[in-house]
């Protein structure tokens, strides 16, 4: 876009910005949503750390319950509004793994589409 390009709404000039956060989704001028992926991964890692802390404090040893808790919390954080931004990054999302309370790997995968 040329530097002198201007947009108006009801005779008011609109500011052109390189990124904008709307309802929790970071839109960028590139349209690639790369920063949104980075934010989602960071939030998922933080959620995984909180889950590990809860499991450690609760002395949870049931593997099925542990994986369900990780999937429910970490996946929901990772995939929040993913319908808007994730198609380009499916392989990266599927590769995200977190370490559980006993240092085993718990894979957080995306649901199959189609």
Radius of gyration of the chain from its Cα atoms, rounded to whole angstroms: 19
Region of residue 9 (left: phi > 0; alpha: psi -120 to 50; beta: else): beta
- What's residue 92's pLDDT? 78
Q: What is the mean pLDDT of residues 2-8?
A: 86
The model's confidence at residue 98, banded by pLDDT at 50, 70 and 90, is: very low
Can you state the percent helix, strand and coil of the chain, rounding each to 5?
Answer: 45, 20, 35
User: How far apart, in whole angstroms, are the C-alpha atoms of residue 2 and residue 80?
Assistant: 34
Residue % of the chain over a pLDDT of 90: 9
pLDDT tens, position by position, 18-58: 899 888 888 888 888 888 888 888 888 888 888 888 888 87
The model's confidence at residue 97, banded by pLDDT at 50, 70 and 90, is: low
């Amino acid at each position: 876009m040329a530097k002198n390009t201007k947009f108006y709404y009801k005779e008011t000039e609109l500011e052109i910005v390189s990124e904008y956060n709307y309802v929790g989704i970071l839109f960028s001028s590139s349209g690639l949503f790369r920063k949104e992926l980075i934010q989602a991964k960071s939030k998922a890692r933080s959620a995984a750390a909180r889950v590990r802390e809860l499991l450690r404090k609760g002395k949870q040893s049931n593997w099925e319950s542990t994986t369900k808790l990780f999937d429910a919390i970490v996946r929901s954080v990772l995939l929040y509004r993913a319908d808007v931004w994730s198609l380009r990054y499916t392989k990266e999302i599927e590769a995200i793994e977190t370490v559980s309370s006993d240092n085993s790997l718990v894979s957080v995968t995306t649901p199959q589409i189609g």
